[in-house]
Amino acid sequence: MNFLEFLNRFFGRDNGASKDVAKERLRLVLVHDRVNISPQMVEDLKEDLIAVINKYMEIDQASLEVSLNSSDGTMALVANIPVLGIRRGA
């Protein structure tokens, strides 16, 4: 699940069972707690990544996805950033 899906599920309606929604919310809270990072810090990190990458590449900010994932006790910052073009002379 990406960060935008998380926000949609957290603040919006989801067609899934409420049990599944609650389970996913708890998982995300635990992930943020384990890495000691707030949702605001994740959003700030996303904005900084956009600024740096935008310096060198033209990107589709509307389709950008950034999330924290946990697997086998390892945390990963996952970013899906559609590149529209390369900025020359950067």
List the domain boundaries for the chain: 3-86
- The span from the CA of 6 to the CA of 81, in Å, is 17
Strand partners, 86: 57
Half-sphere exposure of 38 (CA within 13 A, CB side): 3
pLDDT given for residue 32 in this prediction: 61
pTM for this structure?
Answer: 0.53
What's the per-residue H, E or C state across 9-49?
HHHCCCCCCHHHHHHHHHHHHHHHHHCCCCHHHHHHHHHHH
pLDDT given for residue 73 in this prediction: 73
Kindly tell me if the per-residue pLDDT of 15 is higher than 60: no
pLDDT tens digits for range 38-76: 778 878 888 898 899 999 999 998 888 887 777 787 778
